[in-house]
Amino acid sequence: MKPSTWLPVLTSLSEGELMSGSDLGAALNVSRAAVWQRIEYLKELGVQIEATETGYQLKHPIYLPDLPTIQNAVSIAVDLMPEVSSTNTLVLEARREQCLMSLYQNQGRGRRGKRWVASPGNALMMSIGVWLDCGVQDLAGLSVDVGVSLTHALNTLGVQASLKWPNDLWVDERKLAGLLIELQGDHDRSFVVLGFGLNLWPISGVDASTVSISEVSNREWADCDTVFLINQVQQAIRDYPNQAPSDRIQRYNEVGLLNGREVSVAGVQRSLVGIAQGIDEFGRLCILADTGAEYVSAGEVSVRPQ
């Protein structure tokens, strides 16, 4: 179903009021049967809608970004597409500086080929593309650094998040957000794309290992919060080439979840178990194992219970 079909229904319900099928149909100039079809499609996408004899109502608030408000408050071009394959894919293909937001990604990508899915209005999903006058080889720790900046930004907004290396944001041992950085370029110029997904409301059908803003904050997400994150991400990417390694390491230590904890790392040439000891200047995770200090640039990290 096309976004132009389901988005007006979602927008009409976003105020939180109970609306009858007749009222929705009249407002959208469609039949009650067409309204029902759109409601069922939204429910398939994961939107939690209560259907009763008297009408339809969202089970909890949702967040629909207001594009003009956001664009007026940021320096980068912003676009909002209700449904896309993947915001990262589209920004990579366009190769121009922009922030692309979406309500639903039907082919959303996470780290290491994992799929990232959230229902419309339940998550903040965006990709930001920025050109840098440096080579890809100079951006080894950028993903971790942007994760640190996003974690600090959420802390500023009152969300006590920590960074689970390399780029998952956790609260109370549960995943709140994730990011994916992809690079294109050569030895002297690079195009950086940062994809970011933040759970705003609990994800239906997902296990208890995730958490959302609504569960850890006493206020609803707003456009001013989105603006703040967009500006923080832009600044983090642009500042990275000139940042001192010591400052980068210090900022990581302030929000790093793994420091001093026993972890296991899979997905590298061999599995590692040891105590996490922070990062080095390249963003690699230092693990104190039986064999001594090991430095890991990639891998799936599991945290041993405290």
Q: Which of 49-58, 257-266, 293-302 is predicted least confidently?
A: 293-302
Of 74-78, 146-150, 166-170, 267-271, the range with the lowest mean pLDDT is 267-271
Mean pLDDT taken over the chain: 91
With respect to CATH, is domain 67-253 assigned 3.30.930.10? yes
Query: What pLDDT is attached to residue 131?
Result: 97
Architecture in CATH of 259-303: Roll (2.30)
Between 267 and 158, the more confident residue is 158
Predicted confidence at residue 112, as pLDDT, reads 46
**SS3 of the chain:** CCHHHHHHHHHHHCCCCCECHHHHHHHHCCCHHHHHHHHHHHHHCCCCEEEECCEEEECCCCCCCCHHHHHCCCCCCEEEEEEECCHHHHHHHHCCCEEEEEEEECCCECHHHCECCCCCCCEEEEEEEEEECCCHHHCCCHHHHHHHHHHHHHHHCCCCCEEECCCEEEECCEEEEEEEEEEEECCCCEEEEEEEEEECCCCCCCCCCECCHHHHCCCCCCHHHHHHHHHHHHHHHHHHHHCCHHHHHHHHHHHECCCCCEEEEECCCCCEEEEEEEECCCCCEEEEECCEEEEECCCEEEECCC
CATH classification (class only), 3-58:
mainly alpha
Mean local confidence (pLDDT), 222-241 = 97
Overall pTM surpassing 0.85 (yes/no): yes
pLDDT tops 60 at residue 113: no
**118 vs 247: which has the higher pLDDT:** 247
Nearest alpha-carbon partner for 75 in 231, 224, 237 = 231
CA–CA–CA angle 179, 228, 92 (5° rounding): 40
For the cut 50, the answer to whether the pLDDT of residue 39 exceeds it is yes
Predicted local confidence at residue 151, as pLDDT = 97
The reported pLDDT for the residue numbered 58 is 96
Q: What is the pLDDT of residues 157-186, one digit of tens each?
A: 999 999 999 999 999 999 999 999 999 998
**What would the mean pLDDT of 140-167 be, rounded to a whole number?**
96
Residue 298 pLDDT > 90, yes or no? Answer: no
How is the chain split into domains, by residue range? Answer: 3-58, 67-253, 259-303
Residue 88 has pLDDT above 50, yes or no: yes
pLDDT of residue 303: 85
More confident residue, 209 or 260: 260
User: What does each C-alpha distance from 254 to 2, 244, 278 come to in angstroms?
Assistant: 44, 16, 10
Range in 80-89, 113-122, 260-269, 282-291 the model is least confident about: 113-122
Rounded average pLDDT over 106-135: 79
